[in-house]
Amino acid sequence: MGKKQGDQTYLFESPPVLIGARAVVGPREAAGPLGQYFDLPIDDPLFGEKTAEKAERRFLIEACNATLEGVGIKNEDVDFFLAGDLLNQIISASFTAREIRLPFLGLYGACSTVAEASALAGFLIDGGFANNVLVGVSSHYQTAERQFRYPIELNLKHKLSSQYTVTGAGAFLYAKKGAGPQLEAATVGKVVDYQITDPNDMGAAMAPAAADTILQHLEDTGRDPDYYDLILTGDLGEVGMQLNAALLEQYGVTLGSRYQDCGAMIYGGNPAHGAGGSGCACAAVTVAGYVLKEMEKGKLNRVLVVATGALHSPLTWQQGESIPGIAHAIVLERQGYS
Amino acid sequence: MGKKQGDQTYLFESPPVLIGARAVVGPREAAGPLGQYFDLPIDDPLFGEKTAEKAERRFLIEACNATLEGVGIKNEDVDFFLAGDLLNQIISASFTAREIRLPFLGLYGACSTVAEASALAGFLIDGGFANNVLVGVSSHYQTAERQFRYPIELNLKHKLSSQYTVTGAGAFLYAKKGAGPQLEAATVGKVVDYQITDPNDMGAAMAPAAADTILQHLEDTGRDPDYYDLILTGDLGEVGMQLNAALLEQYGVTLGSRYQDCGAMIYGGNPAHGAGGSGCACAAVTVAGYVLKEMEKGKLNRVLVVATGALHSPLTWQQGESIPGIAHAIVLERQGYS
């Protein structure tokens, strides 16, 4: 297996190309420091729909359709639609798949889903099974709050370590050929559980998984962190980001100033959003928005995206279980960069 | 793309081999007509655990460990664990992945998950990314009832079209080489919605998806139904099975006596189980139990497994949405059969 390097990493022989992507976000995300990078800011978080769930779905449908339109590709030329979200039975993804009528593989990796889906897109294209794979993920503050915590109408106080679910959706079109950054590698994570039990401290629950996957990726590839211009975790937020960096220091790995976290970036440290953003859309819109546009400008050349997910449910928490985490990593490189 | 045939079907160039599988079932399933085929019948549906959710997980862990032990393979030689279940945030799969410590890709295809995972195992192995892929899915009557309908303690009357969630888990080890049936092809389904809105009539909601995928598979491969000894839908039950056959008749396709449904088979038409079994484990234990053992004996040579999933959630139903369905198909063939 020449494609597998080390224990959990895959270097693509004919790296798929990320030929198009769109970040659709709500007003809070558009007002943050990354606002300029997002393709489609939507003023109304309900997107004209009657419920938050229908709104989340609308964000995802919009992101998928805009991505396909942007690259000028027809639905019938897309081989697979890989999608997921945080809601029970991934209804945002499934109902979006109903609208766009593509062969559909539903995924659940919590907030790591964008990297899980991208890795699978890489396997399908590099494996010779697909020319074009559409990836889409979404999250919504109102749907996530009422499902995982409490209805927002209760106006409960959040802890400082609480994170704020990003309202939005990101879609990505990976192709066998075309112009755009290459999907150079993927590292598929294992579930890691440090026995964190506080659902208001998800960053701490996910940080050990991020550290585990980053260590594995570096070991598998023989790379140092400075191989990358940017190492970007998904949604650890400010608390989890510090924990991840500290955990890696214990293993002699210093991420330094090249390390950023989508959750910590997206609201610019505004304390109204606790420790930062979270949700499947957090990493997705940051990559589709910020990362891709900076790569286009030549400001970023090699980026390691490590999307992190907390794999609990309200019920596992009620039954006294801890919160297991997972992180999957993908490498995006500018074409022609050496 | 030589591997893609038609619009949604993939013929594997080096077909992965299903080198091991285990069906772990509860007492009702063990008492049914397929009882003799199941590897590990468990007398206690709670499997010694305090909650049904922990029990479901235990069934899945047991199926995975027994499968790995049965083929004598170590965890570190397994490249991926692909798993899913019906519970919110697929907690059975995620917490099982925490125990068995393999690189994990979480899936959600409702009751179609075993075919979704098997197709992906095929892509990963035939694509050159893996030597061994473990697939596992589970369901449990008590966890599904209280999540999707009502706590069983309420003792509500069911409709005749209601199905009974199978308690159990199936695990499968697909490998690049070895002895066992070959995974010859896979057809990845699209979401199909005939506007069925009754969650007590899931067979009707899923039947159009099964018909769609079977038609597509036959068209893509140029095969007739009689290419197969057995065409086996996942969990349409008696009502959905008849609908699927009738829908296909409209397109000139007669499945005839080679057509069976796991849901209709598993409880042998016992009216206490309504229209039959359902749940991710329904197709999984029927394939791991009945199909594989009949293939081993040479009684079945070519089997088309069409696992079906209903992609709704209690919340989409409450919000007035219909129940979209999906079906994925895989082809299992005895090695050396021509």
User: Per-residue confidence at A338, pLDDT binned at 50, 70, 90?
Assistant: very low
More confident residue, A11 or B199: A11
B57/B59 Cα distance (integer angstroms): 5
Digit-coded pLDDT (tens) for A272-320: 899 999 999 999 999 999 999 999 999 999 999 999 999 999 999 999 9
Q: State how far the Cα of B108 lies from the Cα of A106, in Å rounded to an integer.
A: 5
Summarize pLDDT for A14-73 with one digit per residue, the tens.
Answer: 999 999 999 999 999 999 999 999 999 999 999 999 999 999 999 999 999 999 999 999
Residue A82's alpha-carbon distances to A17, A54, B13, B52, B280, in angstroms, are 16, 19, 23, 30, 20
Residues from chain A that touch B79, judged by Cβ atoms under 8 A, are 4
A12 and chain B in contact, CB less than 8 A: no
Phi then psi for A17, rounded to 5 degrees? -110, 135
**A336 vs A29, which has greater pLDDT?**
A29
The candidate with the shortest Cα–Cα distance to A119, out of A60, A191, A192, A189, is A189
| Residues of chain B with C-beta less than 8 angstroms from the C-beta of A130 | 1, 4
Question: Which residues of chain B lie closer than 8 angstroms to A89, CB-CB?
Answer: 86, 88, 108, 110, 311-313, 316
Same fold across B4-175 and B182-333: yes
Domain range list for chain A: 4-175, 182-333
Residue A1 pLDDT > 70: no
pTM, to two decimals: 0.97
CATH assignment of B4-175, among 3.40.190.10, 3.30.450.40, 3.90.1150.10, 3.40.47.40: 3.40.47.40
Per-10-residue mean pLDDT of chain B, 338 residues long, equals 87 97 98 98 97 98 98 96 97 97 98 98 98 98 88 72 94 97 98 90 92 98 98 96 97 97 95 92 98 97 97 92 96 77
How much is the pLDDT for A2? 57
Structural tokens at position B271: 């009216």
Residues B127, A130: C-beta atoms closer than 8 Å: no
pLDDT in tens, A316-325: 999 999 999 9
B196 touches chain A (CB under 8 A): no
Alpha carbon distance B239, A91 (integer Å)? 25
CATH of domain A182-333: 3.40.47.40
Residue A286: per-residue pLDDT: 98
Contact B136, B63 (CB under 8 A): yes
* Interface check A322 vs B, CB under 8 A: no
For an interface test with B, the pick among A95, A100, A190, A191 (most B C-beta atoms closer than 10 Å) comes out as A191
Phi-psi map region of B319: left, alpha, beta (phi>0 left; psi -120 to 50 alpha) = alpha
What are the chain A neighbours of B321 within 8 Å (beta carbons)?
95
CB contact under 8 A, B106 and A94: no
Which ipTM did the prediction report? 0.97
CB contact, 8 Å: A95 with chain B?
A: yes
- Across the interface, whether the CB atoms of A79 and B315 are under 8 A apart is answered no
Give the tokens for residue A166.
């990003």
Q: How confident is the model at residue A114 (pLDDT cuts 50, 70, 90)?
A: very high
pLDDT tens for A235-273 read 999 999 999 999 999 999 999 999 999 999 999 988 889
Interior angle at CA A90, CA B137 and CA B52, nearest 5: 45
Q: Which two tokens stand for residue A19?
A: 């030929």
- Of B317, B304, B46, which is closest to residue B200 (Cα–Cα)? B317
pLDDT of residue A336: 57
* Residue B179 burial class via C-beta count within 10 angstroms: exposed 0-12, middle 13-18, buried 19 and up: exposed
Chain A residue closest to B53 (CA)?
Answer: A316
SS (H, E, C) chain B: CCCEECCCEEECCCCCEEEEEEEEECHHHHCCCCHHHCCEECCCCCCCCCCHHHHHHHHHHHHHHHHHHHHCCCHHHCCEEEEEECCHHHHHHHHHHHHHCCCEEEECECECHHHHHHHHHHHHHHCCCCCEEEEEEEECHHHHHHHHCCCHHHCCCCCCCCCEECCEEEEEEEECCCCCCEEEEEECCCCECCCCCCCCCHHHHHHHHHHHHHHHHHHHHCCCHHHCCEEEECCCHHHHHHHHHHHHHHCCCCCHHHEEEHHHHHCCCCHHHCCCEECHHHHHHHHHHHHHHHHHCCCCCEEEEEEEEECCCHHHHHCCCCCCEEEEEEEEECCCCC
Task: Give B193's contacts in chain A (Cβ within 8 Å).
Answer: 98
d(CA B132, CA B171): 13
Per-residue pLDDT averaged across A210-225, rounded?
98
Per-residue pLDDT for A332 more than 70? yes
Q: What is the number of other CB atoms lying within 10 angstroms of the CB of residue B101? A: 14
- Enumerate the residues of chain A whose CB falls inside 8 A of the CB of residue B202: none
